[in-house]
A and B are shown apart, each in its own frame.
Chain A
Amino acid sequence: MIEDCLGHCALVAGDISFNVEGLRTGFWQLTIDGLSWGAIYALVAVGYTLVFGVLRLINFAHSEIFMLGMFGAYFTLDMVLGFAPSGNAYSKGIFLTVVYLSIAMIVAMLVSGTAAMGLELVAYRPLRRRNAKSLAFLITAIGMSFVLQEFVHFVLPQLVKGYGGSNAQQPIILVVPKTQFTVFGATVSNVTLVIVASACLFAALVDLTINRTKFGRGIRAVAQDPSTATLMGVSRERIIVLTFLIGGLLAGAAALLYTLKVPQGIIYSGGFLLGIKAFSAAVLGGIGNLRGALLGGLLLGVMENYGQAVFGTQWRDVVAFVLLVVVLLFRPTGILGESLGKARV
């Protein structure tokens, strides 16, 4: 990544622009496009932040949970619902499209949720049993990220013909982006609308779950003080599995939304950069803090879009990380602070 960036920077350093005019004229369009990316980052970021809150673990394999969700959604559309991939858009009418996409989303959520729980059981639980150091968890997380990527890259093509491998899946497109209405001269497409609306809904749901339900109270209790929570009758192991499940479900939902936006993005490495961005979003908002992750995601999506308007498209990722560094310089615990267990959540 860094290597990539350095080589890249050396090559295009001459091309860096400073186009404030572009930002001014395209402000609303950039905001809206940025929000739709931010919404996806936010949903993925929740997975990082919840797991960190409960376990103090950065689950780097979360980006691959997201990637598996994309494959789950694709599998549903292709094998279960019988859409042959063609790269062209299907026209099934509004109602059927809705039904198909809903089914795909639910399956994607289930795939990601199951994968996240499986990851917990296979990779992290044995370590916890043996009281491993936090560094061991971190290395395991990075390792599992590679295991899952290479599984889809090399093993999946052997198991299911036409899946995984080096190329992206041939897209199945159910929704063609069409402009629905304009706000201050910026066009809002149906895809953007779905992404932002669904993301808001899921954000509200997860917020309610954490803050209002008994489970949520359990999660907050474990985050705050694991041993006291256990003494009070909270099953720590169960809470941990549940935390992974919630993160996975949201990653699956984000995966389907992402494939609406980028139908060509279903590839083994497709979660990597997005995962890093989502993780940054979680840190930006204050890792461990649910609302922080949501806010951080939206902010990162919008800011990097402004950034690419000012400095040029190729600087988008750089802008995102510079923003992260700047915010952490002034607020080392992120915008809303790191507290899943404390009053802030």
Chain B
Amino acid sequence: MRDRVTRSAVVIGAVGLVVIGLAGCTQSPPSDSASQSNLKIVERTPIDANGKEIKPPDVSAAVSPAGDGKATCPPLSIAMAGALTGPDAQLGINIRDGVQLAVDKHNAANPGCQIQLKTFDTEGDPQKATQVAPQIVDDASIVGLVGPGFSGETDATGNTFNQAGLVAATASATNVTLSQKGWRTFFRGLGNDGSQGVAVANYLKNTLSAKKVCVVDDSTAYGAGLGKVMRDTLGPVAQGNCNISVKKGDKDFSAAVTQVKTAAPDAIFYSGYYAEAAPFVQQLHDGGVTATFVSGDGTKDPEFVKQAGAASKDAILSCPCSPAPAAFADEYTKKFNQPPSTYSTEGYDLGTIFVTGIDSGATTRPQLLDFVRGYNGPGVGRQYQWTDTGELTNTLIWIYKVQ
């Protein structure tokens, strides 16, 4: 009996080899080189609402979190909430590190005012965020919050922070409706999907002269919202026969690829996150689709390039987030052993605004809320000044390219 088992084990192994052998025979000679790719996401230009390329803003006068070094304050903390674990954790980590850098610079320069950063992990999940939000509100030492990170979780928790009067400035939630809920405590540190969608759609239409665009969204609050703005602005350029909705978590896009192939567009806009964008762009590439791959801020992450490899070459990524200026990038890289990435500058700028407020004597929740509402100053990303609803008065969309 033992013999038989051994024999069958050997047979199974051998047959496995033969099968894979058969498959191998049908493989065509590979064309791609196996070398490590040096592809990177590189910033190209900011664009305006009409999709026209404009000059980058001057950020040399950015407010420093160090202040004058003489600030005094009671022991206080600011909070950061977002996805620190889970599939989209990198975006949350970028924000946290940005805020951390601002707080550390402030604390090092101001021995009389030590501010603690408390981080709260929501995994980017609205349900988890609603469990985390009361912890933040109940911690009396917290006077301001950077976050939550994503639109869904911000939507789920906005009212909690509003009732507590705790200023909640998000560095990354871009869903348009968030500023229309009447929350007095909501501030957005970057342009929303409306401004992003309109600008990118016009950029595709006017600057890249695309005649046919397929818009594919991932059915999340973010993806569906951005996708809708894209379709509305593109108008007839967005092809009805390849308006596709996929699902976050999908890894197989064969049906979508077939549909895109049939439509033969000039460009494909994927409205979703990098975890799905990477296999999607790869499968489009393998399927022989050569149309320009365009995506939004959810995809603008080094992981996208890492996962998709050569298939991501020449992909165009838009983002309301600003690239990091050189000096800031150096400091950040030295501290965290990785270069700043999407939303790092926004996290840093929002952290800077909070500590500047605390330094100026806004040491309670209502005081800091008032400070932020009246704030007007340059950061490393852009000028920060908010409207009554918590939108920036001057938004800026950046175009990036994988090259």
Q: Is the pair B310, A88 in contact by a Cβ cutoff of 8 Å?
A: yes
Q: Is the pair A313, B245 in contact by a Cβ cutoff of 8 Å?
A: yes
Residues A201 and B89 in contact in the complex (CB < 8 Å), given A86-B37, A190-B26, A313-B246: no
A170 / chain B contacts, CB cutoff of 8 Å: 306-307
CA distance A90 to B29 in the complex (A): 10
CA distance A193 to B26 in the complex (A): 9
Asked if A321 is at the interface (CB within 8 A of a chain B CB), the reply is no
A204 to chain B, nearest CB (A): 9
Q: Is the pair A214, B258 in contact by a Cβ cutoff of 8 Å?
A: no
Chain A residues with CB under 8 Å of chain B are: 3, 8, 11-12, 15, 26, 29-30, 33, 37, 84, 86-95, 97-99, 101-102, 105-106, 153-154, 166-168, 170-171, 173, 175-178, 180, 190, 193-194, 197-198, 201-202, 205, 209, 213-215, 249, 253, 261-265, 267, 269, 273, 305, 308-309, 312-314, 316-317
- 8 A-B pairs closest in CB distance: A87-B309, A91-B30, A194-B23, A98-B24, A166-B89, A88-B309, A90-B34, A94-B24
A26 / chain B contacts, CB cutoff of 8 Å: 258
B244 / chain A contacts, CB cutoff of 8 Å: 312-313
Q: Is the pair A166, B33 in contact by a Cβ cutoff of 8 Å?
A: no
Nearest A residue to B83, CB-CB: A166
Within 8 A of A (CB), among B347-392: none
CA distance A105 to B19 in the complex (A): 11
> Which listed residue (A37, A190, A264, A316) contacts B278, Cβ 8 A?
A264
Asked if B219 is at the interface (CB within 8 A of a chain A CB), the reply is yes
User: Told that A198-B20, A261-B252 touch, could you supply 4 new A-B pairs with CB distance under 8 A?
Assistant: A26-B258, A101-B24, A193-B26, A214-B4
Report 28 cross-chain contacts, Cβ distance below 8 Å, ordered by A residue: A15-B245, A33-B255, A84-B36, A86-B35, A87-B310, A89-B32, A90-B30, A91-B29, A91-B34, A94-B25, A94-B27, A105-B20, A166-B89, A168-B87, A175-B23, A180-B26, A197-B19, A197-B22, A205-B11, A214-B1, A215-B1, A262-B279, A263-B279, A264-B251, A264-B282, A308-B255, A314-B219, A316-B250
Best-buried of B23, B127, B221, B250 by chain A (most CB within 10 Å): B23
CA distance A29 to B257 in the complex (A): 12
CA distance A84 to B16 in the complex (A): 25
CA distance A136 to B26 in the complex (A): 49
CA distance A29 to B24 in the complex (A): 22
A205 / chain B contacts, CB cutoff of 8 Å: 8, 11-12, 15
Number of interface residues of B (CB under 8 A): 67
The total of interchain contacts (Cβ-Cβ below 8 angstroms) comes to 183
Q: Mark B209-232, 1 if CB is under 8 A from A, else 0.
A: 000000000011100100000000
Q: Is the pair B20, A313 in contact by a Cβ cutoff of 8 Å?
A: no
CA distance A57 to B31 in the complex (A): 48
> Which listed residue (A12, A101, A214, A317) contacts B20, Cβ 8 A?
A101
B17 / chain A contacts, CB cutoff of 8 Å: 98-99, 102
Q: Is the pair A37, B252 in contact by a Cβ cutoff of 8 Å?
A: yes
B2 to chain A, nearest CB (A): 11
CA distance A86 to B38 in the complex (A): 10
Asked if B85 is at the interface (CB within 8 A of a chain A CB), the reply is yes
Q: Is the pair A95, B24 in contact by a Cβ cutoff of 8 Å?
A: yes
Chain B residues with CB under 8 Å of chain A are: 1, 4-5, 8, 11-13, 15-17, 19-37, 85-90, 127, 219-221, 224, 244-247, 249-256, 258, 275, 278-279, 282, 286, 303, 305-312
Q: Is the pair A316, B247 in contact by a Cβ cutoff of 8 Å?
A: yes
B247 / chain A contacts, CB cutoff of 8 Å: 8, 313-314, 316-317
B36 / chain A contacts, CB cutoff of 8 Å: 84, 86, 88
Residues A194 and B20 in contact in the complex (CB < 8 Å), given A87-B306, A88-B309: yes
Interface of A is mostly: helix
Q: Is the pair A88, B32 in contact by a Cβ cutoff of 8 Å?
A: yes
A43 to chain B, nearest CB (A): 12
Residues A102 and B20 in contact in the complex (CB < 8 Å), given A3-B127, A89-B34, A190-B27: yes
A98 / chain B contacts, CB cutoff of 8 Å: 17, 20-21, 23-24
Q: Is the pair B286, A177 in contact by a Cβ cutoff of 8 Å?
A: yes
B22 / chain A contacts, CB cutoff of 8 Å: 194, 197
CA distance A154 to B121 in the complex (A): 14
A11 / chain B contacts, CB cutoff of 8 Å: 219-221, 224
Best-buried of B22, B24, B286, B306 by chain A (most CB within 10 Å): B24
A327 to chain B, nearest CB (A): 23
Nearest A residue to B225, CB-CB: A11
A47 to chain B, nearest CB (A): 16
Nearest B residue to A84, CB-CB: B36
> Which listed residue (B24, B252, B309) contacts A173, Cβ 8 A?
B309
Nearest B residue to A87, CB-CB: B309
> Which listed residue (A3, A37, A91, A202) contacts B32, Cβ 8 A?
A91
Q: Is the pair B23, A264 in contact by a Cβ cutoff of 8 Å?
A: no
